[in-house]
Amino acid sequence: MEAILLGIYAFFVWLIFFKFKWLPWNKVSMVIVITIPVVGMAALILTLNVVAPSSADVRVMNKVLQVVPQVKGRVIELAVEGNRSYRKGDVLLRIDPTNYEFAVKQLKAKLKADDANVANAEAAARQLSASVKGAAGKVSAAQAKLDLARRRLQEHQELVAAGAGDKFALEDAQTRVRELEGELVSAQSAETQAKEQLSARSEGEYVAIAAARAQRAATESQLANAQWELDQTVYRAPANGRVINLQVRVGTMLVPMPMAPAFSFVEDEQELIAFYHQNELYGVAPGNEAEVALETHPGEIIKARVDSVIWAQSQGVVPQAGMSATGTGGTVPNTGPYAPPPNRFAVKLKLDGPSKTLSLPTGAMGAGAIYTEHVAAIHILRKVIMRVNSKLNYLVLKLH
């Protein structure tokens, strides 16, 4: 575009000074003719870099998930092909579930046994409560018998003292009182023991029932974990996307290790990132119009808008290294011996207009420009430059 403007300027200089000779061609006019385009082009380019900043580093980025199985096992079914699109929830592979099915069945059986133990503990608690009532009844009966025996003993004692009673009957009455006293003590002991057993509680619940229910809860938790592991033997697509770097085959042994992923899953959701120097973005705001020319789409201008400016980069964090002065293993800032060159900031773009439906190659690179709300009259210059660069992408510059 600058060349076109210079060509137009040269044409008018030729008309004025050489064709029609409206002005003389001398040293003064030569200086003026040369100075005007130099100053004008410099001012135009510097202004354009602020109101319509361009970037030669625009990248298409996708989120990549390294697929690591949650359980260990051998692949028995591979329902996926490399570089094919899949919808969220589609089955990608299956791991042999035999061991995990056995574990689930075993824990289900154990859960039924725990249910029976809970029922038995509840029945035992009811029986113990009934035994407390029975023991209380026995105590009352023994007390009544003892009271009657004591009255009989007193009567025999009065008769013997008056000389009208039988001495042997008195001895039988005394023996009967002692027997009933022993029975009362035994009944009271049984009642006390039953009450103590019934009063043994954990969080307000009979301890045997609490223990049985705790065992059942533990088994239920183990069953849930075993069922989860069984479910993990079927791996489904976590999002819409495609599988790349597929090295797994039927019979491959997979283990849950982050360093050994089964394959890579590239999500369809894309991000268009443009990188700018730090002093180019003070006029950029979300919603600004943007254009991108990718090398994978020669001759095409991709419409976009600014989603956000990522005002953060790695130079905002001071690296830490070394030991603290006290030798306690702490770290101190590593400030470096000199100032590093400033890093760039990233601008996140989102496709707009007819370009919304485009599916761009992951890792595609190109150039882009953002059109701010300032000095819109000269945005046309940047748009022309973008379209020229897009056409130049048709050229394959290599000698073989």
Please give the helix or strand (H or E) that residue 109 lies within, else none: helix 98-161
Please give the helix or strand (H or E) that residue 132 lies within, else none: helix 98-161
Q: Which two tokens stand for residue 175?
A: 């023996």
How does residue 324 score in pLDDT terms, banded at 50, 70 and 90? Answer: very low
Of 69-78, 179-188, 222-231, the least confident: 179-188
Decide if 88 contacts 238 (C-beta within 8 A): yes
CATH of domain 69-95+234-260: 2.40.50.100
pLDDT of 191 above 80: no
Distance, CA of 138 to CA of 127 (rounded, Å): 16
DSSP code for 279: G
Averaged pLDDT score across all residues of the chain:
82
- Note the pLDDT of residue 99: 92
Got the DSSP string for 172-219?
HHHHHHHHHHHHHHHHHHHHHHHHHHHH-EETTEEHHHHHHHHHHHHH
pLDDT of 19 above 60: yes
Query: Which position has the higher pLDDT, 368 or 131?
Result: 368
Domain 52-63+267-319+335-395 has CATH 1.10.4080.10: no
Strand ranges, E, within the chain: 54-67, 73-78, 85-86, 91-95, 201-202, 205-206, 234-236, 241-244, 253-254, 263-276, 289-294, 302-310, 320-321, 332-333, 345-351, 365-371
Decide if 120 contacts 204 (C-beta within 8 A): no
Residues 304-314 have a mean pLDDT of 91
Of 59-73, 216-230, 307-321, the least confident: 307-321
Distance, CA of 124 to CA of 131 (rounded, Å): 10
Q: Phi, psi at residue 369, to the nearest 5°?
A: -145, 145
Of 38-42, 62-66, 145-149, 201-205, the least confident: 201-205
| Start-end of CATH 2.40.50.100 domains in the chain | 69-95+234-260
Residues 219-246 have a mean pLDDT of 91
Burial class (CB in 10 A: 0-12, 13-18, 19+), 326: exposed
**What are the pLDDT digits (tens) for 333-378?**
777 787 878 889 999 999 988 888 888 888 999 999 999 998 888 8
How does residue 258 score in pLDDT terms, banded at 50, 70 and 90? Answer: confident
Strand partners, 94: 77, 234
| Start-end of CATH 2.40.30.170 domains in the chain | 52-63+267-319+335-395
- Note the pLDDT of residue 211: 82
Q: What count of Cα atoms within 13 Å lies in the side-chain half-sphere of residue 132?
A: 13
Got the DSSP string for 252-263?
-EE---TTS-SE
- Note the pLDDT of residue 187: 66
Most confident among 7-21, 101-115, 173-187 (mean pLDDT): 101-115
- Note the pLDDT of residue 196: 60
How does residue 277 score in pLDDT terms, banded at 50, 70 and 90? Answer: very high
Decide if 55 contacts 368 (C-beta within 8 A): yes
Distance, CA of 395 to CA of 279 (rounded, Å): 32
How does residue 234 score in pLDDT terms, banded at 50, 70 and 90? Answer: very high
Of 23-27, 97-101, 197-201, 235-239, the least confident: 197-201
DSSP code for 26: S
- Note the pLDDT of residue 106: 94
Decide if 77 contacts 235 (C-beta within 8 A): no
- Note the pLDDT of residue 305: 94
| Start-end of CATH 1.10.287.620 domains in the chain | 100-229
Long-range contacts of 129-136 (CB under 8 A, 24+ apart): 129/198, 131/194, 132/191, 132/194, 132/195, 132/198, 135/187, 135/190, 135/191, 135/194, 136/191
Domain 100-229 has CATH 1.10.287.620: yes
- Note the pLDDT of residue 387: 92
Q: Residue 281: which residues within 8 A CB-CB, separation 6 or more?
A: 53, 309, 345, 347
Mark residue 142 as left, alpha or beta (left: phi above 0; alpha: psi -120 to 50; beta: remaining).
alpha
How does residue 386 score in pLDDT terms, banded at 50, 70 and 90? Answer: very high
Burial 97-106 (b: 16+ CB within 10 A, else e): beebeebbee
pLDDT of 331 above 70: no
**What are the pLDDT digits (tens) for 240-249?**
999 888 888 8
The alpha carbon of residue 389 and the mean position of all alpha carbons in its chain are separated, in whole angstroms, by 41
